[in-house]
Amino acid sequence: MADRVIYAMYDDDDVIKTAAKKLVADGIHITDVFSPFPIHGIDPIIGVKHTRMGNVAFLFGLFGLGLALFGMRYFMIVDWPMNIGGKPNFSLMENLPSFIPVAFEFTVLFAAHGMAITYLLRNKTLPGMPADNPYPRTTDDRFVMEILLSDNPSFTAEEIQAKVKQTDIVQVEEKEFKKIK
């Protein structure tokens, strides 16, 4: 069965937040919200969990740090030790002060790029990907709720529409749901 979807459009971030609160209290599951900028406080209302991107950055940073230390130990201590001004370089610990800058840079390099790449992949935002916002104005000054009927089996489309119309909407539309990506 083809899924159907209801799009409710609002013109203010505070209004959509109030509306979302009301609809969720009525037992409606809001699938997603499209907005031109982050609406602070909408995530807990519609049940979006807090992102773990910060942990991703930390793990990538740790990996970068490890790789830098491992690499420098191999290049400078194990494989080809160089005598530079007679400075002690018999072990990683002795030579560590000289390795701090590169270790730091590598940590940051990996944390930043690892997180950015994960972010783009998880968002499915990559060069050439199609956009799937339902109306072009959602990147400008409109805020749209996406309510999938399959997410709300206990309500009919008419019931949901009636509830949505009680909130301060600009426009409501029901159509065939097409999954773009």
Partner 1 sequence: MLFRQKWRMAINRSAEAMTIFAVFMAGMFPLIHMGRLWVGYWVLPLPNEFGSLWVNFNSPLLWDVFAISTYLSVSFVFWYIGLIPDFATIRDRAKSPVAIKAYSLMSFGWSGRAKHWNRFEIVTLVLAGLATPLVFSVHSIVSFDFATSVIPGWHTTIFPPYFVAGAVFSGFAMVQTLMLVLRKAMHLENYIHTKHIEYMNIVIMTTGSMVGVAYLTELFMSWYSGVEYEAYAFLNRATGPYWWAYAFMMTFNVVSPQLMWFKKLRRSLLFTFFISIVVNTGMWFERFVIIVTSIHQDYLPSSWSMFYPTWVDIGVYVGTIGLFFMFYMAYVRYFPVLAIAEVKTILKSSGESYKNGSAELNSGSDDGVLTNNKNN
Binding site for partner 1 (CB under 8 A): 11-12, 32-40, 42-43, 46, 48, 50-51, 53-54, 57, 71-72, 75-76, 79-80, 82, 84, 87, 89, 95, 98-99, 101-102, 104-106, 108-109, 111-113, 115-116, 119-120, 122-133, 136-141, 181
148 burial type by CB count under 10 A (0-12 exposed, 13-18 middle, 19+ buried): middle
Rounded Cα–Cα distance for residues 68 and 65 (Å): 5
We find the least distance from the C-beta atom of residue 141 to partner 1, in angstroms, to be 4
* DSSP tally for the chain: helices H, then strands E: 5, 4
Q: Give the phi and the psi of residue 22 in degrees, each rounded to 5.
A: -65, -45
Return the structure tokens found at 43.
């995530």
Q: Nearer to partner 1 by C-beta: 1 or 86?
A: 86
In the chain, % helix, strand, coil (3-state, to 5) comes to 50, 10, 35
Q: Nearer to partner 1 by C-beta: 40 or 158?
A: 40
We find the least distance from the C-beta atom of residue 134 to partner 1, in angstroms, to be 9
Q: Nearer to partner 1 by C-beta: 63 or 119?
A: 119
Q: Nearer to partner 1 by C-beta: 89 or 161?
A: 89
Nearest by Cα to 170 from 16, 23, 4, 41: 16
We find the least distance from the C-beta atom of residue 162 to partner 1, in angstroms, to be 24
We find the least distance from the C-beta atom of residue 34 to partner 1, in angstroms, to be 5
We find the least distance from the C-beta atom of residue 109 to partner 1, in angstroms, to be 5
Q: Nearer to partner 1 by C-beta: 83 or 158?
A: 83
| Three-class secondary structure of residue 8 per DSSP | strand
Cα 158 to its chain centre, rounded Å, is: 33
